[in-house]
Structure 1
Amino acid sequence: MFEVNSRSYRVLTASLIYLVAIAAALTIATLRSRAKQKTPAETESPTAEIARRPAGKPFFSLSTHRTFGTADNARLWVDYQGVDHLDFRVYQVKDPRKFFTDLKNPHQMGEQEEQEVASSLPHRKSFLERVRGFKRWAYSGIKTFVRAQLKHDSRQTFNQKFRAEAETVRTPLNVADYARVPLLNPDLLVSSWREPLPPLETAYDQRMIPLGKRSPGVYLVEAVGNDLRAYTVVVVTDLTMVDKTTRDGELLIYTVDRKTGEPRGGTQVEIVKEKKTIATGVTDSQGILRTKIEKPKTTANNADGEEAGDGEDPATEEVDSKSLLILAKQSSNFAISDLGSFFFSGYGDEEDSENIKGFIYTDRPVYRPSHKVNFKGIVRGIDSTGAYKPISDNTVNITVEDPNSATIFNKELPVSARGTFNGEVDISEEAALGSYRIVAEVEGGSASGGFEVAEYKKPEYKVTVTAPGKFVQTGQKANFSIDARYFFGSPVANAEVKYYIYRSRYYAWGYGEDDSDTTGDETETEDEYSQFYGGGDDMVQESEGTLDARGHLNVEFPVPESDQTDTSDYSYRLEAQVTDSARRTIDGSASFVATRGTIVANADPDHYVYNKGDVAKIHVKTNDYEGKPVSAKVQLQFVQRTWTKKEKKADEEENSYPEYEMHERAIASADVQTDSQGQTSYDYTTTEAGNISIKTVINEGGRQVASIGGYLWVTDRQYAWTDSSYYSEDYHSIKLVPDKKSYRPGETAHILAILPTDNAHLLVSTELTKVMSVQHVSSPGKSIVLDVPIQGSYAPNVFLNVSYVKGGDMYTSDQRLVVPARDKMLNLEIISNKKEYKPRETASYTILARNADGAPVSGAEVSLGVVDEAIYSVSPDNSGNIRTEFYGMRYNLSLIHI
């Protein structure tokens, strides 16, 4: 998918790949007959049995890896050795619900059941009684096909031999062929034949056995060779389910036609746990059913059935019969899905008890033994919608642990109405050195912070690197100044200096620069395809020098001229390492922006998504690099930018990152003049569908300075989409494009969904810890604009998920929508009454608190710490950012399952 960091898709892909890997391993490891009766000594392990099997001894096994639609040619795979033909009998299960729910474990048939029923075959028990007792399916059998209802582009295949159906010469079976190994139940037999099996190339090869098109149903396929038998199940259905689960046991079931993706309303759904029905329902007209259940508990077991200890792979967790079976039936179509406790754990396996958010900080980052630590914290409760609320406790239990996890402090502290608390702890002279942890526990959860204890020596001097200014034009000479002075004021004379100069791209405007947006830097950059540019810092110069008697060194740096094809400026950063006579090294750095001109032009449309033929109002702004408005003549160029993948050279590594080449195609252009405030607007009539970049070109001194001033997306009214370059490596992508950088509660987001197919039936949902809203939307073409009302509970962000089924394939993608919590932010300003103080003078500070709109805020609780500046040269502040802690990006904890 284009949205590689989509939480749902990553978990889905990882799960499918894991299941296929297990299937491959067990298929190879269990190449044995399915019906040969064994003694307990013979059932030690599949691996041991293969090791004991003499070369050439006949054996075979059957497997299926997904379900099939009625329009599909159903197939299964057979592993075999020492046999030249097999007799196949296909039975249709009359009651699929009873068939699956009667199994002790729906993922396999138990060894005990197999032996009991196999020994009583001559008594001709009923069909279901016989089926329950036959050779168990491998883990990759039933578990794979109930989870793999659909094909998926990320699913990997085995080393299989596919042969056309016409190549197989089959012989019908007659009554005499059933004499040696009787039929399970003649009344349920729907087809039978003898299949010739040519020798396989390797012991790990497989042969595909086509079953042809079948009517909807659950089929048991039996293969017979002499006295040996093997079994697998083939499910044929035009009904499929998409399930969404959340940490608190919410379950959303979406039933659709596997070929068209059209919702199947009126589908009967039953949820079974340990053979007991715990919920039932009928999907609505949109094919959606929502319910809530008690989520399964996770128990991780090892091979011997004991609880897993440290180092066990959590992916091997045992859900056993405590997992859920979701059974769906509409007319003659039946679908089954299983959900283990993993699918209710949420991303990152967060605990349900974590209903508390907190932030703990100390007056300094590092202490010596015998120092006193002053700490303060804030705790908030979290309600069912994800909003913060006051905690119910009047006190908080504080525990401080040393690096050896020994408790050095434990005390109940009072909590204010705002959820704040504070205290102090003394560090003993014999205290262990390292990281200490502060834990605050209240009912419902806990919060933690930390500090360091070290036998440090405060740095005696500070290194200051000064750039020539914020901005320097390309082609000029820039002078960096490196100065080192002791904290008591004297220069660090004759110290050694090593310095490095780095270059990185600079964008005058980028996404997510709103101070109230605390969701991090995961929003896209201003250049939609910056991922193809290459990133990071390039080192352009490395050298050495010596400070003079004044503790000073001047570094002259000629700023390189920019390339004519560049559409961005560059930032140059000098990093210096100063080493004094005592061999103590201190670092410092500074940077400037190398500008191609003196004016910055920006071109922003009212929205980012338009229909073909719409008029997009482009707002043009010009200013200097300090942000002051400047009147200027600007040429707007509307271009389509596409990227093509370069062919790898013969000497390139196979797994090296691909390189892309950009191509531009001009669509339209216009000249505009900004006023004295540096503003004007231009009405652009959209004429072509696709991703349109807006280049701004300014002529300065005979040189044209071009930048990417903005962009917009255009879709035509017939929902066609012409630009497919966004698909990158994955043609199954869904691309979601928000019309704004961020939203406020009460607004409606207009999200352009670009789809890999037309006539799609979309399941559109907003998600976080739960599915907050869901609807079905039909898209006749390959693009559609989705309207998403923004709720207050979406702050600071929410995820929009779009999923659909088409032609037996599953498509899904997430897009984060930023809703800054502006009303929750305070800006603080600290003003001292003097710039410098003499020893023993009293310093006075004024603290100003304002909200996001700049209005004064009264009654705010603040804390102030005054610390020796040299401490932060030993260790930087590591308490974190209180804004991002409470209102940083939230992750999507809803999981999708097919």
Structure 2
Amino acid sequence: KEAPALLPVTLRNVEADLRVQGLQVGSGGVPAGKVSTLRPQEDAEIIAWFRKLQQYDSTQVERSKARRDVKGPLPKVIDSDKEYVQSRMLSLLGGQSGVRTLDLPRPASADPRPFEVVGIPLGAGFHVVEIASPLLGAALLDARHGAARTMFVRTSALVTNLGVHFKLGRENALAWVTTLDRGLPVAGARVRVSDCHGRELATGTTDAQGVARIEGLSSDPPLCNGPGEGGNAYFVSARHQGPDGVQDMAFTWSDWQRGIEPWRFNVPTSNDPRPDERAHTIFDRTLLRAGETVSMKHLLRSETRGGFGVPEAAPDTLAITHLGSGQQFTQALVWRKTATGGRSAHSSFAVPPAAKLGVYEVELRGSRGEGYSLITGQFRVEEFRLPVLEGRVGPADKAPLVNVRSVPVGVQVNYVAGGAAAQLPVRVSALVRSRYLHFDDYDTFSFGPPRVRQPASGAGEEEETARQDARVVADKLPLTLDRNGAGRVTLEEVPRAGTVQDLVVEATYADPNGEVQTLRSTTPLWPAAVLAGIKTEGWVSARQKIRFQALALTPDGKPAADVPLQVQAIARITTSSRKRMVGGFYSYDNQTETKDLGTVCTGKSDASGLLLCETKLDEPGEVELVVTARDKNGNTFDAAASVWVTRQGELWFGGENHDRIDLLPEKKRYEPGETARLQVRMPFRFATALVAVEREGIIDTQVVQLNGQDPTVSLKIQEGWGPNVYVSVLALRGRLREVPWYSFFTWGFKAPREWWSAFWYEGKEYVAPTALVDLSKPAFRLGVAELKVGTRAHQIDVKVVADKESYPVRGKAQVTITATLPDG
């Protein structure tokens, strides 16, 4: 039988006798039957003592409260302050039933040690401990309280091998119960959810995965605003009887989320128990003159766990507000149900002839009482003139601009009614800025440039060089058009870059209608006549070799054959160390270095523009693969992607001063039926993880075992997950154990594989706890990622076809509208 748990107490050699009192709430040593009869009251009792200890942690408390909590006379009033009393002069356990008293060992008079650490034995359960010290009372308390004054120090302790993890959603909740020593799920544990007063709100029993699903729990816990109370959170407790027959219990509060707050994951959250509503207005047009009429169609939906739904209540008022002056127009809304179960409303608004110019905002009001509104769109009311001139501007050469130093730009301006704008003065400006390269047919390939190599840094974060720069290459160059309304100017010294850029050209002129018009064009600048892309098989390690694909494309996104491709590997090595700071806190210091691993693949692209590569990488960790494509003129284009090599070691990511980890999906968008793979960047060699799919609540869960050699999870995308879901992974690592070689003869022979794993990994990482820090304690990390899910099953394909390509003025057009469901 294992030794009992000990609460360490440091005794300084200052007094000969010290007494300690302990009160155990819901004793775990009583028979199971008695525990069952007392169980409905246990949570309320624990909550009361938990709150009481928090209130008496302050220096002073009100005498009126102390009279209710202390069974015995209060210290006499010795100064002008009659309303408060020092909390260290009060004994909360004095006179309480169930209190056991024991004597702590008395230090020997000849002992040279200045202090001694002793342990108070505690059984399973929640304990309130209070120590009485007459000597400290005589030294620190006012002498006017008498010679028998005593100082009291109190604390609480939870002795348990259970860990309770709670997820609270809008439509449901979940409790996950695990063991602290091994981090394994606990089946058959009884879970109870209570409010801040101990009233039972929900119960459940964990399944084989240690999960208890709870329905009907509000996402906004009841507020506790009584005397000495504060905050709103659920109290979640779990009880389980172990193989030894001892009842174990543990608890958590729903607001215990320090280090994993929602804002750390950059995901939207809300405590409102009512579903979020999404409203949208479709306008026949958004630019009007005073006196014209705008027609609108309003759509309203609610966000639910199963996707979009129809709200129970709908707004009854349409408000149109002028943003400049606040002038407002209102009218009633009439909603109708569609044949497919939707809900919409139609309305029209005649802009007054004397209406103010500017932007008008459309709001739907009245669905949730006073002050609630949904902004659904905007339209503008302006006095505008139709242009007399129209034109175009852009590079004179229609061929792709590849590694150019100068660009001829042509300007053409004509009258709308016909004819050239001869001798029109024009000013031309241009700038070069970075461009994000993406092709829909190759969305799994990376076309981004490689990261700039930097010296070793201790910032602790992997930062990429900012490329959102812009450079002006021409500023209002004067140009006069010829008799044909055409003109040309040359842009000199166009900057070069190793990646694609945008050339933005603008031409400004005075229109005869009195307005200044601006023409604009955006043209890509290519560093080479061919583009390079790279796709890895994911960041997870192949067991033997790393497989990836290099791609060569033309600037218009077509496959390029027989293009020389070369792939280089660069390892990024992050070394983390933990250092102690002033005040007893700890922080992580990360150093990142790069190592050139040489060329890992060369060849020419095939007819599909692909080069299939397979190589062996001996450097574990993050490896950046840089592919270079070379055109016929020797110009090059670089693209890069990272792969995580785990074949000969575990991934080890730099630690941070919180409990958040990165959860990286293989791609951002999936279609129903596909399998999503996500990498868990955890600092553990082994872990038990709760994988939850969430949106307005918990949709699905599974418990998986993670290995540092392959820290990935897989999810089959379901039909009802569109348009998006959030995936969270809570990774647990149990306590690290000291595993000496001779432990094989005590317990290892019963489970050889478990003993070998513990001996080889845990034994090396085990660090004995000290009075200041316990680095081997159980640990957890949480990661969250969003997945976009296709909605093809909910889309209707609509086609509009006219009977002619062009029509004369006042001609009649016949239009055919075809709508096709997803199943054809």
In structure 2, relative to structure 1, the CA distance for the partners of 1:488 and 1:222 (3 Å cut) is farther
* Larger Cα-atom Rg: 2
- Report whether the alignment pairs 1:748 with 2:675: yes
Once residues 549 and 451 of structure 1 are traced to their aligned partners in structure 2, the CA distance between those partners, rounded to angstroms, is: 39
Query: Which residue in the other structure is 2:31 paired with?
Result: none
Query: CA contact under 8 A between 2:601 and 2:615: conserved in structure 1?
Result: no
Deviations 1:342-369 (A, max 9, x none): 9999944374443654431112223344
Deviations 1:208-234 (A, max 9, x none): 998878646423345754258566533
- Report whether the alignment pairs 1:451 with 2:361: no
Query: Which residue in the other structure is 1:556 paired with?
Result: 490
Query: Which residue in the other structure is 1:474 paired with?
Result: 403
Q: Which structure has the higher relative contact order (CA within 8 Å, separation 6+)?
A: 1
**Cα offset for 1:581?**
8.5
Query: Which residue in the other structure is 1:799 paired with?
Result: 726
Query: CA contact under 8 A between 2:573 and 2:622: conserved in structure 1?
Result: no
* Structure 1, 631-640 or 545-554: larger mean CA deviation: 545-554
Deviations 1:727-748 (A, max 9, x none): 4866966343434554332233
Within-5 A mapping of 1:180-195: 187-189=99-101
- Tell me, what secondary structure is at the counterpart of 2:729? strand
717, 724, 733: which one pairs with 1:790? 717
**Cα offset for 1:532?**
0.7
Query: Which residue in the other structure is 1:502 paired with?
Result: 432
Once residues 328 and 347 of structure 2 are traced to their aligned partners in structure 1, the CA distance between those partners, rounded to angstroms, is: 19
Within-5 A mapping of 1:479-498: 479-482=408-411, 491=421, 494=424, 497=427
Consecutive unaligned residues of structure 1, counting only runs of 5 or more, are: 1-68, 77-83, 125-132, 138-177, 196-207, 306-317, 515-522, 646-657, 858-898
202, 206, 219: which one pairs with 2:128? 219
State the TM-score, normalized to the length of structure 2.
0.67
Query: Which residue in the other structure is 2:72 paired with?
Result: 121
Within-5 A mapping of 1:820-839: 820-825=790-795
**Cα offset for 1:608?**
5.2
Query: Which residue in the other structure is 1:100 paired with?
Result: 46
Deviations 1:672-702 (A, max 9, x none): 3333443453444565543444433334346
In structure 2, relative to structure 1, the CA distance for the partners of 1:102 and 1:771 (3 Å cut) is same
410, 413, 423: which one pairs with 2:347? 423
Query: CA contact under 8 A between 1:486 and 1:492: conserved in structure 2?
Result: no
In structure 2, relative to structure 1, the CA distance for the partners of 1:723 and 1:366 (3 Å cut) is same
Query: CA contact under 8 A between 1:474 and 1:595: conserved in structure 2?
Result: yes
Once residues 736 and 747 of structure 1 are traced to their aligned partners in structure 2, the CA distance between those partners, rounded to angstroms, is: 18
261, 279, 294: which one pairs with 2:202? 279
Query: CA contact under 8 A between 2:728 and 2:783: conserved in structure 1?
Result: yes
Within-5 A mapping of 1:300-339: 320=230, 323-330=233-240, 331=246, 334-339=249-254
Query: CA contact under 8 A between 1:464 and 1:483: conserved in structure 2?
Result: yes
- Tell me, what secondary structure is at the counterpart of 2:238? strand
In structure 2, relative to structure 1, the CA distance for the partners of 1:715 and 1:218 (3 Å cut) is same
In structure 2, relative to structure 1, the CA distance for the partners of 1:763 and 1:722 (3 Å cut) is closer
Once residues 438 and 467 of structure 1 are traced to their aligned partners in structure 2, the CA distance between those partners, rounded to angstroms, is: 45
Once residues 535 and 810 of structure 1 are traced to their aligned partners in structure 2, the CA distance between those partners, rounded to angstroms, is: 36
Once residues 431 and 250 of structure 2 are traced to their aligned partners in structure 1, the CA distance between those partners, rounded to angstroms, is: 62
Aligned length: 675
Once residues 689 and 840 of structure 1 are traced to their aligned partners in structure 2, the CA distance between those partners, rounded to angstroms, is: 72
Aligned AA for 2:720?
Answer: S
- Tell me, what secondary structure is at the counterpart of 2:291? coil
Query: Which residue in the other structure is 1:813 paired with?
Result: 783
Deviations 1:241-291 (A, max 9, x none): 22100012x221223344543334444433222332233344344332221
Query: CA contact under 8 A between 1:746 and 1:792: conserved in structure 2?
Result: yes
Aligned AA for 1:328?
Answer: A
Query: CA contact under 8 A between 1:501 and 1:575: conserved in structure 2?
Result: no
Query: CA contact under 8 A between 2:219 and 2:272: conserved in structure 1?
Result: no
- Report whether the alignment pairs 1:539 with 2:460: no
State the TM-score, normalized to the length of structure 1.
0.62
Query: CA contact under 8 A between 2:565 and 2:605: conserved in structure 1?
Result: no
Query: CA contact under 8 A between 1:319 and 1:341: conserved in structure 2?
Result: no
Query: CA contact under 8 A between 1:503 and 1:538: conserved in structure 2?
Result: yes
Query: CA contact under 8 A between 1:479 and 1:556: conserved in structure 2?
Result: yes
In structure 2, relative to structure 1, the CA distance for the partners of 1:538 and 1:604 (3 Å cut) is same
- Tell me, what secondary structure is at the counterpart of 1:262? coil
Within-5 A mapping of 1:711-860: 711-716=642-647, 720-722=649-651, 724=653, 727=654, 734-740=661-667, 742-781=669-708, 783-806=710-733, 807-825=777-795, 840-842=810-812
Query: CA contact under 8 A between 2:552 and 2:629: conserved in structure 1?
Result: no
**Cα offset for 1:410?**
1.1
Query: CA contact under 8 A between 1:762 and 1:777: conserved in structure 2?
Result: yes
Once residues 538 and 729 of structure 1 are traced to their aligned partners in structure 2, the CA distance between those partners, rounded to angstroms, is: 34
Query: CA contact under 8 A between 2:450 and 2:641: conserved in structure 1?
Result: no
Query: CA contact under 8 A between 1:114 and 1:134: conserved in structure 2?
Result: no
* Structure 1, 798-807 or 180-189: larger mean CA deviation: 180-189
Query: CA contact under 8 A between 1:640 and 1:693: conserved in structure 2?
Result: yes
Query: Which residue in the other structure is 1:363 paired with?
Result: 284
Query: Which residue in the other structure is 2:552 paired with?
Result: 622
Query: CA contact under 8 A between 1:502 and 1:573: conserved in structure 2?
Result: yes
**Cα offset for 1:789?**
1.9
Deviations 1:370-420 (A, max 9, x none): 3211112334466x5423457889x98452332448452114254432434
Query: CA contact under 8 A between 2:90 and 2:152: conserved in structure 1?
Result: no
In structure 2, relative to structure 1, the CA distance for the partners of 1:456 and 1:722 (3 Å cut) is same
- Tell me, what secondary structure is at the counterpart of 2:334? strand
Query: Which residue in the other structure is 1:569 paired with?
Result: 500
Query: CA contact under 8 A between 1:111 and 1:136: conserved in structure 2?
Result: no
Once residues 262 and 600 of structure 2 are traced to their aligned partners in structure 1, the CA distance between those partners, rounded to angstroms, is: 53
Once residues 703 and 608 of structure 1 are traced to their aligned partners in structure 2, the CA distance between those partners, rounded to angstroms, is: 32
Query: Which residue in the other structure is 1:678 paired with?
Result: 609
* Structure 1, 604-613 or 803-812: larger mean CA deviation: 604-613
Within-5 A mapping of 1:239-250: 239-248=162-171, 250=172
In structure 2, relative to structure 1, the CA distance for the partners of 1:362 and 1:693 (3 Å cut) is same
Once residues 72 and 498 of structure 1 are traced to their aligned partners in structure 2, the CA distance between those partners, rounded to angstroms, is: 79
367, 375, 385: which one pairs with 2:296? 375
In structure 2, relative to structure 1, the CA distance for the partners of 1:707 and 1:557 (3 Å cut) is same
Once residues 683 and 559 of structure 1 are traced to their aligned partners in structure 2, the CA distance between those partners, rounded to angstroms, is: 42
Query: Which residue in the other structure is 2:110 paired with?
Result: none
Consecutive unaligned residues of structure 2, counting only runs of 5 or more, are: 27-41, 76-83, 108-114, 241-245, 453-462, 576-588, 734-776
**Cα offset for 1:569?**
2.6
Query: CA contact under 8 A between 1:495 and 1:580: conserved in structure 2?
Result: no
Query: CA contact under 8 A between 1:90 and 1:190: conserved in structure 2?
Result: yes
In structure 2, relative to structure 1, the CA distance for the partners of 1:260 and 1:482 (3 Å cut) is farther
In structure 2, relative to structure 1, the CA distance for the partners of 1:754 and 1:451 (3 Å cut) is closer
- Tell me, what secondary structure is at the counterpart of 1:573? strand
In structure 2, relative to structure 1, the CA distance for the partners of 1:332 and 1:182 (3 Å cut) is closer
In structure 2, relative to structure 1, the CA distance for the partners of 1:94 and 1:457 (3 Å cut) is same
**Cα offset for 1:534?**
0.8
Within-5 A mapping of 1:681-720: 681-684=612-615, 689-701=620-632, 703=634, 705-708=636-639, 711-716=642-647, 720=649
**Cα offset for 1:95?**
0.9
- Tell me, what secondary structure is at the counterpart of 2:720? helix
Query: Which residue in the other structure is 1:349 paired with?
Result: 270
Once residues 20 and 441 of structure 2 are traced to their aligned partners in structure 1, the CA distance between those partners, rounded to angstroms, is: 60
